[in-house]
C-alpha cells in the first residue's frame, strides 16, 4: 500500500517579512504560525511522518507544541527552499518506497484546511505523477515592461495561483529536484522541477483563503480567516 509522507521546509529567515523573529514563529491568534500549519497536517492520519527541514537550534521551536508529536521530525534545512526539500527527501530514503507520495507544504500557509488536503489526495491517488493545489485569479492581469508600462492584458482564465500542498511520487520528485539543483537552477516550487523534468502536472482547485504569509499585514488577514474557519 502506498504511503504518504510530508515535508514542510522552514529554514527561511523571512527577509521579506522583516523583524527579528522568523515568520514561522510569529504569533497568530496567540499561537506560533508553525503550530497552526503542523496541526493541520497532523489532523490527517494518512500522513506517516512530517519532516521539517529547519534551523533546529532556533529557540522558537520550543514554543511549537506540535513538534512533540512522534510524527514530526526536525532536520537540518538547506540554504534555499529547494535544498531543504531535497534534504527532507533524502531523510526518507530508508523508509519511503519509490512510488509513495510526498506532500510538500509551505510552513507559511497556516490556513490550509483538512478538506483541501484530502481533496488533493483523493484527486491524485491514481495519478502516476502528482499535482498541486491552485486557486483561480479573479483580477485582471497586465504584462508590463521595464518602465512599468502595460504591454498586454492577458486572459486570466488561463492562469492559476500555485498553492501548497503539492503532492508527487517520491522517486520522481527526488530525481527532478536533484537534476534541477545539479544544473544550478533553483525551482520556486516542486511543480516547477517536475515540469522541467517533462512531467504533466495535474492541478486541483483549492480554497482562496489558503494564503501564504509574506508580509506583516498577511497575519491580520490570516487571523480573520482562521476565525471564519472556526479555529482559535
Q: What is the pLDDT of residues 77-123, one digit of tens each?
A: 999 999 999 999 999 999 999 999 999 999 999 999 999 999 999 99
d(CA 58, CA 170): 29
Helices (H), the chain: 33-42, 81-90, 114-124, 170-182, 190-196, 216-228
Q: Which of 19-23, 60-64, 90-94, 111-115 has the lowest mean pLDDT?
A: 19-23
Count of H helices and E strands in the chain?
6, 11
- Reported as half-sphere exposure (CB side, CA atoms, 13 A), residue 138 has a value of 3
What is the dotted CATH code of the domain comprising 4-228? 3.90.550.10
Q: What is the pLDDT of residues 121-144, one digit of tens each?
A: 999 999 999 999 999 999 999 999
If DSSP codes are grouped into helix, strand and coil, which group holds residue 147? coil
Q: According to the model, what pLDDT value does residue 230 have?
A: 83
β-sheet with 72-76: strand ranges across: 72-76, 47-54, 4-7, 101-104, 160-169, 130-136, 202-205
Measuring CA to CA, which residue among 113, 106, 217, 114 is closest to residue 163?
Answer: 106
Amino acid at each position: 500500500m502506498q504511503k504518504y509522507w510530508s515535508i514542510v521546509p522552514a529554514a527561511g529567515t523571512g527577509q521579506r517579512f522583516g523583524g527579528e523573529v522568523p515568520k514561522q514563529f510569529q504569533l497568530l491568534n496567540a499561537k506560533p504560525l508553525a503550530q497552526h500549519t503542523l496541526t493541520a497536517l497532523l489532523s490527517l492520519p494518512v500522513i506517516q511522518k512530517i519532516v521539517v527541514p529547519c534551523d533546529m537550534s532556533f529557540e522558537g521551536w520550543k514554543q511549537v507544541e506540535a513538534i512533540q508529536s512522534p510524527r514530526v521530525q526536525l532536520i537540518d534545512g538547506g540554504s534555499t527552499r529547494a535544498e531543504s526539500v531535497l534534504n527532507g527527501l533524502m531523510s526518507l530514503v530508508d523508509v519511503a518506497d519509490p512510488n509513495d507520495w510526498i506532500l510538500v507544504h509551505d510552513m507559511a500557509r497556516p490556513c490550509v484546511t483538512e478538506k483541501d488536503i484530502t481533496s488533493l489526495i483523493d484527486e491524485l491517488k491514481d495519478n502516476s505523477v502528482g499535482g498541486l493545489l491552485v486557486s483561480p485569479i479573479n483580477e485582471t492581469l497586465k504584462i508590463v515592461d521595464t518602465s512599468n508600462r502595460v504591454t498586454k492584458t492577458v486572459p486570466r482564465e488561463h492562469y492559476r495561483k500555485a498553492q501548497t500542498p503539492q503532492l508527487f511520487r517520491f522517486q520522481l520528485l527526488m530525481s527532478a529536484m536533484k537534476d534541477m539543483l545539479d544544473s544550478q537552477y533553483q525551482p520556486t516550487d516542486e511543480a516547477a522541477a517536475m515540469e522541467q523534468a517533462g512531467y504533466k502536472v495535474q492541478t486541483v482547485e483549492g480554497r482562496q483563503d489558503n494564503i501564504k504569509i509574506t508580509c506583516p499585514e498577511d497575519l491580520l488577514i490570516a487571523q480573520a480567516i482562521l476565525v471564519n474557519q472556526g479555529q482559535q
